[in-house]
């Protein structure tokens, strides 16, 4: 087990450093002057234990795993590929962290739950995924839990940032380009700013918290409500019409209700900022031509 009193001082390794969350983490660690290495393909292949051992040295105090197979619909036909990244590779990272005495911060998803609840999902709620992506992420959680490593397992949902491809950027573009859109109104969850997610994760690490936590923005909404607020804040004009999941056919089933319970996290860190506040912060950082 790592020494929790100094783990958060680094050095750190950010895996999947070129992705949306990886960039948020790199900016955060630079701000806090925490020594770190950003790792991604082709340098690091997390499906290869040898590559992990070569690039994550024994001096690393915590590893942030931002890498994942995230194509929810693609996973329906590519479940083996998704499983390799979301479960097998996660197991290799966890085993290596145990070996070198580092803490693993690993991210999972609201999609490990079936969406049939009517109150927010607590961290210890039984996993029951309804699509291939969710199954692979649930398997990754189990690999972390059984590895014996020191870990923070953080579930999140509906991730967005001022950069990279995400729902916020897509809605800004579409509401600028089109006169009319249909957006699903019968799936409810919590949006999450990648910057807020990284910051709250580091805060949990610094407090010595370990185990499973949920981090999202505060509040909840449907995709339709989220889209309408994005349009309003970006100053675009479009007729956004609500539709059902049945009307908007996609390969993978989605949970109808995937609101994550934040009580454990808020007991440690205080209230999570409302999603509208975080959304405004993110849109305010975007390039004018993107808005």
pLDDT at 6: 72
Neighbours of 113 (CB within 10 A): 23
Q: Model pTM?
A: 0.96
Q: What is the pLDDT of residues 270-281, one digit of tens each?
A: 999 999 999 999
End-to-end CA distance of the chain: 46
**How do residues 46-60 score in pLDDT, each as one tens digit?**
999 999 999 999 999
Q: How many residues does the chain have?
A: 291
Domain boundaries defined on the chain: 7-159+192-216+256-273
pLDDT at 10: 87
Considering only CA atoms, give the Rg of the chain.
19
Dihedral sign for Cα 43, 51, 5, 196, please.
positive
The pLDDT tens digits of the residues spanning 107-141 come to 999 999 999 999 999 999 999 999 999 999 999 99
Give 119: exposed, middle or buried? Use CB within 10 Å, 0-12, 13-18, 19+: exposed
Calpha distance 194→182 (Å, rounded): 25
Whether 121 is catalytic: no
Distance of alpha carbon 163 from alpha carbon 36, whole angstroms: 21
Nearest to 116 by CA among 264, 253, 266: 253
Which of 69, 92, 107, 133 is the catalytic position? 133
The distance of Cα 237 from the centroid of its chain, to the nearest Å, equals 30
Residue 291, pLDDT > 80, answer no
Residue 212 C-alpha from the chain's centroid: 14
> Does the structural domain 7-159+192-216+256-273 have CATH classification 3.40.50.1820?
no
Residues near 72 by beta carbon (within 8 Å), at least 6 away in sequence: 111, 131, 133, 252, 254
Is pLDDT of 2 > 50? no
């Amino acid at each position: 087990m790592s020494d929790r009193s100094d783990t958060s001082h680094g050095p750190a390794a950010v895996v999947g450093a070129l992705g949306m969350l990886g960039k948020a983490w790199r900016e955060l660690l630079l701000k806090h002057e925490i020594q770190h290495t950003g790792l991604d393909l082709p340098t690091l292949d997390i499906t290869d234990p040898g590559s992990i051992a070569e690039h994550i040295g024994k001096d690393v105090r915590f590893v942030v795993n931002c890498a994942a197979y995230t194509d929810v619909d693609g996973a329906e036909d590519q479940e083996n590929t998704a499983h390799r990244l979301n479960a097998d590779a996660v197991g290799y990272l966890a085993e290596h962290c145990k070996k070198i005495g580092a803490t693993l911060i690993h991210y999972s998803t609201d999609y490990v739950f079936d969406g049939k609840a009517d109150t927010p999902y607590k961290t210890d709620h039984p996993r029951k995924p309804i699509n291939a992506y969710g199954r692979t992420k649930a398997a990754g959680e189990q690999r972390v839990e059984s590895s014996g490593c020191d870990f923070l397992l953080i579930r999140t949902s509906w991730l967005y940032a001022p950069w990279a491809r995400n729902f916020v950027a897509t809605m800004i573009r579409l509401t600028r380009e089109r006169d009319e859109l249909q957006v699903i109104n019968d799936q409810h969850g919590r949006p999450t700013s990648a910057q807020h997610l990284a910051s709250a994760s580091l805060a949990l690490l610094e407090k010595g918290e370990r185990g499973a936590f949920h981090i999202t923005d505060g509040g909840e909404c449907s995709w339709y409500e989220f889209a309408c607020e994005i349009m309003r804040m970006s100053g675009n004009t479009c007729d956004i019409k609500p539709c059902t999941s049945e009307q908007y056919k996609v390969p993978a089933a989605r949970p109808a209700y995937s609101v994550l319970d934040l009580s454990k996290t808020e007991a440690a860190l205080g209230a999570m900022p409302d999603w509208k506040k975080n959304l405004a912060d993110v849109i305010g950082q975007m390039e004018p031509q993107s808005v």
